Structure 1
C-alpha cells in the first residue's frame, strides 16, 4: 500500500517538475561584463546578437573619458563571444547607445541626433546596415518634442509603427514618464502622448521595452512601491488607445532587489530575458544578467518569419520588398526589405491571418498566407519567396483565385488576386496571357477538364469586365493533367489544395490591338455598320443612302394604295403608284422591300389579321408580276395590332387601313 501511495505521488508531481523553470538570474560573465558599467542591453529578436553600452571603458572611442560606447556580442555554440566595440560611425567622442534594433537586423535606433557635419544634437537617429557595415545615422524628427529631464530613453516596437519614450514634459506625473509616438513616415513621428497614471507615477519611469506581441511592456520605475532603488515592472496594453494598461506588476525578488535594476529586454520567443543590476556585479558596477522569463510574465506568442527572396528561374538571391497585410482588417500594411546578404526577418502577432509576397518592379511575387488566429506557442519559420519575371514564357501559379467547391463561382477571398492580375494586365497593355485552369475535385477526368475550363473562362471574363481586350486572353482547361510539383511551395490557405489553381502564362509581350474592320470601306466600322458589306452613309447607319425621291414614292404608296371593300383586290387607281415603287426597285438592285398590311379594329380580329396578310401578299404579287424578284420582297400582315391613329374616329380608322413599304438591306 505504501508503494502504491508513493507511485501516485510520483505521477502527480512529476509533470510539475517537468514544467519547472530556472528563473534564477545569471551573470553573463567576463565575455560581456567588466568592472566598468555595462548597461542598456538590447537583444535581437532571434536571440543571437546582444547590443549594449559600456561606460568609461579604456577601449571606448575616447578612452576612459568617453562616457559611453556601443558594444556587441554574438551567440556561438551556446556561448556569448567576447564583446567588441561596434566602431565608427556609431561610436564617437559623444555618449553612444542603442535604443532598439529592427526585426530584420537591418536598422538600429541610436541615441543622439547625428547631423551631416558630424555633430550631435539632442534626439535620436536611425542607422541602416549594408552588408556588415552600419551607415551614418540619420536623425528622426518628433513633432512638438521637448524633454525637461537630463535623461532620456527610446524604444521602437518591432512593428516599427510605434515608439516609446521616457521623457519629462509639463504634463508628466513626476520626473520621467513613459510616452508613445506614432510613425508618420521614414523619419517623422507624431507628438508624444503620455501613457497615463496606470503606468506613470510621481517617481521616474524609464527603460521601456515592448515585447514582440506589441502589447507586453517592461519598464523600470522608482515608484509603484518596489523593493528600493529602481525595480522592473510588467504591464499589458489592453486596447489600441495606449491609455488602458493592466496594473503594473513587480517582477519579484528573483529579479528586483534593494539595488538598481532596469533595462529589461527579451527575445521574440519570450523565453530569455536580459537586464541590468548592480546586485552581485563585478566591483559594484552595473552588469548584465540573463534569466528564463517566468510564464506569468511572458508575452503572447508570435511567429518569427525569416527567409530570402530568389529569382524563380535560377534561384539567385534578390533584393526586394516584402509586403505584409493583416487581412482581418486590410489596414495594417507593413513593408520590409529583403537584401541579398541576410534576406529578411519579420514578426507576426497571434490572433490574425496575414498575406504577404515579394514585390519588385518587373517581377510578380506569389501570394503567401499565414493563419495565426489559433496560435498558442512561439514559432520560427524560414521561407523562400519567389519572384517571377514579367517575360514571354513565364508561368505564374495562382492558388488564391479561389472558387466555390466543385463550381466555377468565385469565393469572396478570390478578388484580391483577381484585381492584382487585372491591374497587371492594365499596366502592361501589350501583354497577352493564357489562363489555364487546374483541378482534381471531381471523380472523372472529363469533369475536371470541363470545370477547370469554366473556371479559367470565369477569370477571363472578370478581366474583360475590367477593360482587358478579349483578344489578349486565351482560355484553357487542363483538369488534372498537369500536377503542381514546384520545388518551392508557397504557403497557402489550409482549405486549398495545391492542385487547384489558375496558371497565368505570358504568351506575348508585343500584342497589338486589332484594327476595326470596315468591309465596305465606307468609313463606318463593321461593328457599328447596319450594312457592313454595302457602301453606305452615316445618316443611314452605314446602309446606302435612300434619296428624298424614293422616300416620297414610299410615302405616296402608303397614302394612296386602295383595295376593294373587305377584299384583297387592288383598285386600278393604285396601279400608277405601285408602278413607281417598281421603278425604285429596278433602279436600286441592293434594295429589299418589306410590305406590311394593316387594318382598323372593326370586325373580327382573326379576320382582320387574314385580310391584312392577303393585302400584303397581293401587293407583293403585283410587284413580282412587274419583274421584281421574290427574294427581294417580304410581305407580312399585322391586322389591327399596329394602329397609327385612334380607331375611335372614321378618319383614324381610314389611316389605320394601310400598306406600308420599308427599304431594307442584307
Structure 2
C-alpha cells in the first residue's frame, strides 16, 4: 500500500473506457467499477481462482479506522474480466499497512504486515474451509523495512519475491530488492538490484514477467517529471544486478500516479490516479508487448549514491497460531464519502516533532494470546534513559523497545505507540531463531571492536542474555570471499570469540555461548559488489536452546 497525495473530490463511479494511441499500439483501459470506490485501491494481486486481493487505504471500516494505510480486501471473480463487490478480510488485516505479496498455492497466501500489531515482515496464511488462518512468519534473514511504505510481489513459480523497501544498502528512499526461496523453506536476505534500477528517489510496486526476465516497477526517478511512472527493465544475467536501462510505459503513464503493473496472461492490471483525483483506481489493460533484450551489450550504470548505514534487523521465525478472518460484505456504491478533506501527504518522513504520550499497552504471547508482563525502554538513550511507563511524554521521534522475559523484544516508534489501540504480540524465543548483529563493527582485518557504538550495542546483547538466563546461543562469524579462505575462517572465528569474551566480561556464563567461524563459505549476498561484501561480513547470534 502506497500513500499518495489526496483530494476531497470523489472518484468517478461509471465504467471508463480510455484509448491511448502511439505509433505502434492502441491500449484500451477499463476501470473495475465494482471494485473501485471513493477510497484508495492499490496493489492488486490475483488469486489462482481469479479472485482479486488488494489493499484499500483510508477506509472508515479498516481496522485502524480512516487513517489506516491499508487493509486486505477481496473481490470475487464473476465472469471474464469481471469482479464483484469487495469483502473486507478483517482476520488478515491489522491497524497498520497490510499488503498481499502473492499466493504460493490456492491455499497459501503471503502477506506483509508493518509491525503495528504483528511483527514487521512477511507472514504466511493458509486457507481453512472458506477462511484464512494465520500460520507463521517467514524467515527472511536480514529483512528490515525502515519505511512506512511497502510493496512487493511473488513470481508465478512461487520461488522469487521482488520487494520495495528502504533497507540495508538503499541508494535513497525505497529501493527494489529480490529474495529467493531456499531448500530449507526459508528465504534469502533481500538483495538490492543495483543502481541501474534504483535511484536516490523512490522505486515501488515491483513485479516480474512470467519468464522472470522483465521487471516492472514504478518510480519518481529515471527522469520522471511529475507523479510516478511505470517502467520496465530486462535482466541481463543471473546476478540480478545487471539490467537494461529502464524504459517508461509511456502509453499508459499519465501526469498522475501509476503503480503496481502486473501481467495477467494476455492482459495486465495497474493502478492510476488519473481520473480519481489523487486516489488509486484499478484498471485492466491489454498486456504491453516488449521486445527481448540484447544480452550481448553491457548496460549503462548511473553514478552510485552513497548508501546509508546498516541497522540491526529484527528476528523472524515460524509461529503457529490460528487466527481466522471475519468476512464482511461491502456494497461500494452505498459508501458515504468523508465529510472532511483528507490530508495531503507528499513525504510523511518530513514532519515537525510533536509531543507524544504512551498510553497503557497490552502485550500478548503471539501463540497463546495470553497477556504477559513486560518492560519498555527508550532505544536511543540520548533522547531519554531508563524505563518508561504509561503516560510518559516524548517530544522526539524516538523508538521504544518492548521486552519480556523469554521473548524477543519488539521496537516500535513512539508515534505508533501513541496511536495504538490493539495489543502488541511478542514471539517466544525458540531454538534456531537468529539475529544478524549489523551494528557491531571491527577494525579492518582484525577482531578488534571499531568504536564505542559497537561496545554499547554489545552491552544491549548482554542485557538481553541477563534478562533470559535459560537460553544458550551460538555466535557465527562470517566474512566475504576475498583473500585466503583459511585466514578468513580464522578471522571470522576470532571475531565471534571477541564478542563472546566481551559478553563473559559482562557476567554471561562462558558455557552459554558457543562460537563458530565460517569465513566466506555462507554468503547472504553477491561478493561481486562492495555492497554485497559488506553484507557478508557479519556475526549472527543463533538460539541454541
Please tell me the TM-score bracket, short chain as reference. 0.3 to 0.5
**TM-score normalised over the length of structure 2:** 0.46
**TM-score normalised over the length of structure 1:** 0.38
